[in-house]
Structure 1
Amino acid sequence: QFRRFREVTLTQLQAIAGNYNISYNIDARFRALAAQDEVTAAALRDTQATLRAELARAAAAARRLRRRVRRLEGRVAAWGQRQEPQEPLANRTRGPAGLGAGRWQRLRQEQQHLREGARPGVPAWETQGQVSPREPPEPLQPHGPHAEQRAAGSPPKPKKLQAWHRRRERLREEGERPPNEARSVAVLREAALQPCGAGSVLLFPNSSVENVAVLGAGLRAGLRALSLCAWLSTPAPYLGTLLSYATEDNDNKLVLHGWDRGLRGSMHFVIGDPEFRELPVTRLLDGKWHHLCLTWSSEQGKFRFYVDRRLLAAGSGFQQGYEIPAGGSLVLGQEQDELGGGFDPSEAFVGRLASLALWSRALTPGEVASLATGQGQPPGALLTLADASPRGWVRRAECACLERCP
């Protein structure tokens, strides 16, 4: 009986040992499968990271390619504009058949007189030495871009005609003033656009890629509207880059830049590359101080571009509904081809900047006029020139009045 009990016990113990081995083997297999899963997940993560890096490099290369294409298009357009006037200029040197030399010379003098108009301080009749002030003036001939339409019998629009008459009246009044008085008026007008108390001025001495000013920590919140205003003067024949805002996924979220290989009298206003608008900046390239102000609103995509209080460009539907994201790099004087770098000397700003400020709303025309005449800065500016950190050879100077800046 005892042996029987021992055999039964041994059989039960062997069954228990077998069951234990089965569960142990199952646990080992689960652990092996979990380890394989972790290895597979790690390999997948590495593959995804490599793919993202390749896509980022491809996107950066595509953006650089688009930029080069735009520059080439600008160069071709500039070359075309230089070539177009050559033939008409050559034709103007020869008089039409059937006219004598004296008659042709007189017609050319009258045409030159009409183009110049009345100069300040000189009566209109003195600009053409052959006509006496007692002689009745000859009727004005149509000239300018709409001359052919007027010659064909198409009258100018009433608003344009009234503006033209007002301008002629103003020029006549200034032309009839004594020379000293006319010069005084010009000086007063220029002084009105050069206010004192502008604060500090940033001087960008040359186009070195080391000359840059970093504006604080960039944007802390996204922008659905903006206004950027500043005083500037540049001796360069092109404007260069005033402001560049780049993020990790796009180096052209907000850019105001020109370059020496494109149309030198224009500037690109970029929001969310590749969308941009071309703005005229020829008025800014005379080496004098000028006030610039640019506004944009995402609600209807409206933008306005002012120079010395005058509206030079406007439009709508530009990046409507778009938001400029936060967390990027915001710099002055250089155009970023990558986050915080990738500068190109052909796009650098050379000159002086003063009273620069950025708002998160579109300023009204009255506020722009107040800025341009030195009547105070609207409240609520996100960033000003005081937040800029100069680098390279950029230096900061304090000026009581803009015309006295070094």
Structure 2
Amino acid sequence: MCRRVTPGLFMIIVYLCVRQTSEQVPGQMEVRKPLYQRLRRLDEQFRRFQEVTLNHLQSIAENYNISYSIDTRFQLLTQQYESLSRDFQSFKASADQDLSSLKSWSKKFQKKTKRLDLRLANVERALRENNRLNHRHVQEHRTVIANLTQELREQRNLTGSMEAYKEEVQSGIGVLQDALTQQQEQMKQLSEQIQAMQRAGVFSSTGSPRSEDPLTSNRTPQGLVPAMLTKRVKPKVQPKVSKEDRVRNRLLPFTSTSQPRVFPEGRRLRDRKQGSAQTSTLPPEPPALPKEHSQIQSLLQLPLRHKIPQHHIPKKAASICNVHSALLFPSASAQNYVTFRKGFSAGIHEISICTWLKVDADYVGTLLSYATEDNDNKLVLYGRNSSIQGSMDFVIGDPAYRELSIGNILDGRWHHICVIWSSIEGRFWHYTDRRLTSTGSKFQKGYEIPSGGFMVLGQEQDTVGGGFDIAEAFVGRLAGFALWSRVLTPGEVSGVATGRGLPRGAVLTLDDVDQLHGSVQQVSCECLEHCI
């Protein structure tokens, strides 16, 4: 307040002093006018200065009030910052949890996506294979239909030839009937001549010749001895049939000669005349027509298959005949296993293993084990009774393995499996009964299975050639085992499973078995149905 009042008082004092001086010295007014003007200007400047000062003082007062309350505001801001930091920390923790769950979910989603991609790839491959097989089956059906059409045409031609053959047979039957009619007439003439001879007294009442019988005395009384008793009656000669016609018409028993059909009856009739002693008169011999007629009827009643040359139609093979031999593992025992006389001559980068299985247990056991000094699980197809039923581990260079599903082969029946692997991209394929069961990639990519190892069937090696466990034994039958050092195509796998033969280049088969240990038996069997 002192600062505000002092300038006013100062101006009032200056004004009073100037007024007194003007009153005392009136003559000096003109000289002092510039001074007054300056004073006025100074007053105006002082007022402006005063206003500025007041404004500045007001701003300082306001700033003082602000600085006085800044501590409380700072404390409030500090509390707000702490609450915000706590909220931010909680938000950060929840965000981290959400991010971690999102990462895990994204990983699972990626795995599921990869599995779906693999399944889609398998489905696409299976569809392509099915389309290829369907196309092949369609072609085979077309070929079969074409063959059937050709056979039908041949059958039609054969039917036409049979119609012609039937007509020729009918014509031959007509000729035979004419010959029989002529023979019947000749027999009637013969019986009439015999009756005439009886009436002439050539034969006695008992049927025996008299002492003056021309047949015994070589005399011809009254010229009544007919030429039929001294010379056989020849029927009318029929035209002969050539050998080619007989072969073509199948008429050899009937057209070679007509005499055997007539003369036995004639001889029988003469013997009956000479040896009869019961009747005085000889009744006429019955005609030979019924017998010949019955033979003709039997010829006509022959089945068509006796007249038509049979065409051999090959039957489709109904069995798998490419197994050569089978192994029987009768029980779960550490002593039951099979060894080979040779192994891999060089390191391999591709492998195909195919075999027929008939499992007699509720688990598959160990099919194959290949061990070296460096690793006892270089190549293993492995299962045990404590593992998951219906699964088998495919191991290449332990600890790398893939789990294969084989639950559909544990039914006590024969099944065919093929397991294939390639170091290129680490691809593998698993076939069961010609169908692709599972596949994958990046399994031991670029890996090499070394040579110099020891191969065993039926047990898993913990050491080279030993370390067997009863829980890992194979129980059942194994047939047609073969191993290739290359990747078999789906067509080759289908050919092996359907018995069309083994593909080329097999490295190991059951022919290379060295020793059978324990109670294992090997049986030679060409076809799978003949194996034990």
**Class of the TM-score when normalised by the shorter of the 2 chains:** 0.5 to 0.7
Alignment correspondent of 2:524: 398
Residue 233 in structure 1 maps to residue 358 in structure 2: yes
Q: Which amino acid is the alignment partner of residue 521 of structure 2?
A: R
CA distance in 1, matches of 2:319, 2:418: 15
Alignment correspondent of 2:393: 268
Q: In the alignment, is the contact (CA less than 8 A) between 2:326 and 2:525 conserved in 1? A: yes
Alignment correspondent of 2:334: 209
CA distance in 2, matches of 1:371, 1:233: 16
Which of 322, 335, 339 is residue 447 of structure 2 equivalent to? Answer: 322
Q: What is the aligned length?
A: 220
Q: In the alignment, is the contact (CA less than 8 A) between 2:325 and 2:531 conserved in 1? A: no
CA distance in 2, matches of 1:323, 1:329: 16
The 5-angstrom pairing of residues 342-381 of structure 1 reads: 342-381=467-506
Alignment correspondent of 1:9: none
CA distance in 1, matches of 2:404, 2:422: 17
- 1:197 Cα deviation after fit: 4.1
Q: Which amino acid is the alignment partner of residue 531 of structure 2?
A: C
The 5-angstrom pairing of residues 268-347 of structure 1 reads: 268-347=393-472
Counterpart secondary structure, 2:525? strand
Residues 375-400 of structure 1: CA distance to partner in whole angstroms, max 9, x if unpaired?
01111111111111311111111224
Alignment correspondent of 1:124: none
Q: Which amino acid is the alignment partner of residue 270 of structure 1?
A: V
Residue 245 in structure 1 maps to residue 370 in structure 2: yes
Task: Give the % identical residues.
Answer: 57
CA distance in 1, matches of 2:483, 2:342: 14
Q: 1:320 to 1:197 in 2, by over 3 A?
A: closer
CA distance in 2, matches of 1:218, 1:193: 35
Q: 1:210 to 1:261 in 2, by over 3 A?
A: same
Q: Which amino acid is the alignment partner of residue 396 of structure 2?
A: I
Alignment correspondent of 2:260: none
CA distance in 1, matches of 2:322, 2:454: 29
CA distance in 2, matches of 1:367, 1:243: 22
Instruction: List, as ranges, runs of 4+ consecutive aligned residues in structure 1 with deviation greater than 4 Å.
Output: 191-194
Q: In the alignment, is the contact (CA less than 8 A) between 1:193 and 1:372 conserved in 2? A: no
Q: Which amino acid is the alignment partner of residue 396 of structure 1?
A: Q
Q: 1:372 to 1:329 in 2, by over 3 A?
A: same
TM-score in terms of structure 1 length: 0.52
Q: In the alignment, is the contact (CA less than 8 A) between 1:193 and 1:373 conserved in 2? A: no
Q: From the two aligned structures, give the one with the greater helix fraction.
A: 2
Counterpart secondary structure, 1:346? helix
The 5-angstrom pairing of residues 64-143 of structure 1 reads: none
- 1:258 Cα deviation after fit: 0.6
Q: 1:192 to 1:338 in 2, by over 3 A?
A: farther
CA distance in 2, matches of 1:248, 1:193: 46
CA distance in 2, matches of 1:299, 1:400: 36
Counterpart secondary structure, 1:263? coil
Counterpart secondary structure, 1:252? coil
Q: Which amino acid is the alignment partner of residue 340 of structure 1?
A: G
CA distance in 2, matches of 1:344, 1:286: 24
Q: Mind listing any 5+ residue stretches in structure 2 that lack a counterpart?
A: 1-122, 131-315
Q: 1:205 to 1:193 in 2, by over 3 A?
A: farther
Which has the higher Rg, Structure 1 or Structure 2? Answer: 2
Q: In the alignment, is the contact (CA less than 8 A) between 1:252 and 1:272 conserved in 2? A: yes
TM-score in terms of structure 2 length: 0.40
Q: In the alignment, is the contact (CA less than 8 A) between 2:347 and 2:451 conserved in 1? A: yes
Q: Which amino acid is the alignment partner of residue 357 of structure 2?
A: L
Q: 1:206 to 1:214 in 2, by over 3 A?
A: same
CA distance in 2, matches of 1:281, 1:365: 19
CA distance in 2, matches of 1:400, 1:252: 33
- 1:248 Cα deviation after fit: 0.5
CA distance in 2, matches of 1:297, 1:377: 20
Q: In the alignment, is the contact (CA less than 8 A) between 2:352 and 2:483 conserved in 1? A: yes
Residues 348-389 of structure 1: CA distance to partner in whole angstroms, max 9, x if unpaired?
111111111111111000000000000011111111111113
CA distance in 2, matches of 1:309, 1:239: 19
Counterpart secondary structure, 2:342? coil
CA distance in 2, matches of 1:383, 1:267: 22
Residues 252-275 of structure 1: CA distance to partner in whole angstroms, max 9, x if unpaired?
000001110010110000000000
Q: In the alignment, is the contact (CA less than 8 A) between 2:339 and 2:455 conserved in 1? A: yes
Residues 171-208 of structure 1: CA distance to partner in whole angstroms, max 9, x if unpaired?
xxxxxxxxxxxxxxxxxxxx989512421111111111
CA distance in 2, matches of 1:192, 1:202: 24
CA distance in 1, matches of 2:508, 2:322: 18
Q: 1:272 to 1:193 in 2, by over 3 A?
A: farther
Counterpart secondary structure, 1:268? strand
Residues 22-60 of structure 1: CA distance to partner in whole angstroms, max 9, x if unpaired?
xxxxxxxxxxxxxxxxxxxxxxxxxxxxxxxxxxxxxxx
Residues 122-177 of structure 1: CA distance to partner in whole angstroms, max 9, x if unpaired?
xxxxxxxxxxxxxxxxxxxxxxxxxxxxxxxxxxxxx89xx9xx9xxxxxxxxxxx
Q: In the alignment, is the contact (CA less than 8 A) between 1:222 and 1:323 conserved in 2? A: yes
Q: In the alignment, is the contact (CA less than 8 A) between 1:230 and 1:353 conserved in 2? A: yes
Residue 223 in structure 1 maps to residue 338 in structure 2: no
Q: In the alignment, is the contact (CA less than 8 A) between 1:197 and 1:399 conserved in 2? A: no
